[in-house]
Structure 1
């Protein structure tokens, strides 16, 4: 503090903090229990968690974008190779979910444009509507009419039937 301060307005702080006047010589049981809990439970758990977190931080995998390696399609699997069948089925299911999400995202974009543009959305949202129609047609041609229990094998058979069906030519 400066030498010329007003002692009435700013009194000097006490030189020592007062000593707590104990009424008894017995220790406080709450302090004993809190220390016992800290050293027996909290400290070991915290130390273990910090050790695990330090190990995990060096091997941190990004949870929201897991990349799976591509496996052969069902048509490329050898006869009787059940592991290949299983991997192809799991890959088909992931692709199916991704395609569903793509359709949802395109539909949300189209609806947002319709909401934003109002009555003139046919003119101003033509690109979004065309993209939505193309996406839904592609999804329908690949996954449509598979039923509730769709599998990769059913989808493959549907694609084969579609390729073998006679092409109708428009004149």
Structure 2
């Protein structure tokens, strides 16, 4: 006898659909359309224009861009903290077998390198304008000499 011909199976399936059909209908027709698309549980700030979109004499735009930059930095600091904590916990748990944590180590090292490329060597003058100038100078350097860390070319190319 096939499973679908079994009376117990038919009874269980009927009970399942009696309970599931109204629940699925209400969820699909009322709950899901009225949900927020991104249910965040922390404060969300609107993205403001970046420093390269501001006029030179627009103090309000500069201040908003600087606040956005500082918020982004604090988020990236917390991401690094979480990645470092995960790696340290993995290394502590596995002890001598820390090769099991190589993927976490690589992720943390990549994130650290990206953080340093953006915020490193900024000193006390950490603001959006100095970070923008650092990014501009790095791009000019890479255009003339190749990627940073690869050594200088023999003949710099004209920018």
TM class, shorter-chain normalised?
Answer: 0.5 to 0.7
- For 1:145-164, list aligned pairs within 5 A: 145-164=121-140
Is the radius of gyration larger for structure 1 or structure 2?
A: 1
* Residue in structure 2 matching 1:105, options 82, 89, 96: 82
Moved segments of 4+, more than 2 Å: none
**Cα displacement (A) at 1:81:** 1.0
For residues 1-58 of structure 1, the C-alpha deviation after alignment (integer angstroms, 9 at most, x for no partner) is xxxxxxxxxxxxxxxxxxxxxxxxxxxxxxxxxxxxxxxxxxxxxxxxxxxxxxxxxx
3-state DSSP of counterpart to 1:125: helix
Alignment correspondent of 2:29: none
What runs of 5+ residues in structure 2 fail to find an aligned partner?
1-40, 152-159
**Cα displacement (A) at 1:167:** 1.0
**Cα displacement (A) at 1:83:** 0.6
* Higher helix content, 1 or 2: 2
Alignment correspondent of 2:62: 85
Alignment correspondent of 1:53: none
Alignment correspondent of 1:6: none
Whole-Å separation in 1 of the counterparts to 2:128 and 2:56: 16
More moved, 161-170 vs 98-107 = 161-170
Alignment correspondent of 1:119: 96
Taking structure 2 as the reference length, what is the TM-score of the superposition? 0.64
Taking structure 1 as the reference length, what is the TM-score of the superposition? 0.60
Alignment correspondent of 2:71: 94
For CA contacts below 8 A with separation 6 or more, give which structure has more relative contact order.
Answer: 1
Q: Does 1:131 align with 2:110?
A: no
Whole-Å separation in 2 of the counterparts to 1:90 and 1:103: 20
What runs of 5+ residues in structure 1 fail to find an aligned partner?
1-63
**Cα displacement (A) at 1:149:** 3.0
What root-mean-square deviation, in Å, do the aligned CA atoms of Structure 1 and Structure 2 show?
Answer: 2.1
Alignment correspondent of 2:43: 66
3-state DSSP of counterpart to 2:55: coil
